[in-house]
């Protein structure tokens, strides 16, 4: 019981910490930051995509993501498109990481 209580307290602590960090970053970056990243994503030309190792790795990994799931079975599937957009945006947000398969 004590372990469960400790786990519940930790969840609350980490949720509060994450909420604080996200709120702090949002205050620094502004409410339209994700949309700014999406504009960068939408302006990628095919030459840039071909030469960017992070973008190429994202596309390779997306093809392997839940290949038997109907939402992820085609490169143009709705969920693949959404996930690609988020991962590409993160690549621009955190250039030092770019992309990591764990994301």
What are the structure tokens assigned to 44, written together? Answer: 């990628």
59/97 same-domain check: yes
- Distance, in Å, from the CA atom of 15 to the CA atom of 20, rounded to the nearest integer, reads 9
11/44 same-domain check: no
pLDDT at 52 over 80: yes
Domain count, the chain: 2
84/50 same-domain check: yes
Quick one: pLDDT at residue 47?
A: 80
26/48 same-domain check: no
> Residues 63-81: pLDDT tens digits?
888 889 888 888 888 899 9
Structural domain harbouring 22 = 1-30
Quick one: pLDDT at residue 6?
A: 57
Quick one: pLDDT at residue 15?
A: 67
pLDDT at 40 over 60: yes
Mean pLDDT of 16-33: 72
22/51 same-domain check: no
5/49 same-domain check: no
Quick one: pLDDT at residue 45?
A: 85
Mean pLDDT of 16-41: 77
41/20 same-domain check: no
Quick one: pLDDT at residue 88?
A: 92
47/97 same-domain check: yes
- What's phi and psi for 74, nearest 5 deg? -125, 150
pLDDT at 5 over 60: no
25/37 same-domain check: no
pTM score? 0.68
């Amino acid at each position: 019981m004590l372990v469960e209580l400790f786990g519940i307290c930790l969840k609350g602590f980490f949720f509060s910490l994450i909420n604080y960090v996200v709120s702090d970053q949002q205050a620094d970056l502004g409410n339209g930051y994700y949309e700014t990243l999406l504009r960068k994503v939408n302006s990628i030309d095919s030459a840039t995509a071909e030469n960017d190792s992070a973008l190429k790795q994202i596309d390779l990994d997306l093809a392997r993501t839940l290949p038997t799931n109907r939402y992820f079975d085609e490169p143009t599937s709705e969920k693949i498109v959404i996930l690609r957009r988020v991962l590409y945006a993160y690549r621009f947000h955190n250039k030092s990481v770019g992309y990591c398969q764990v994301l």
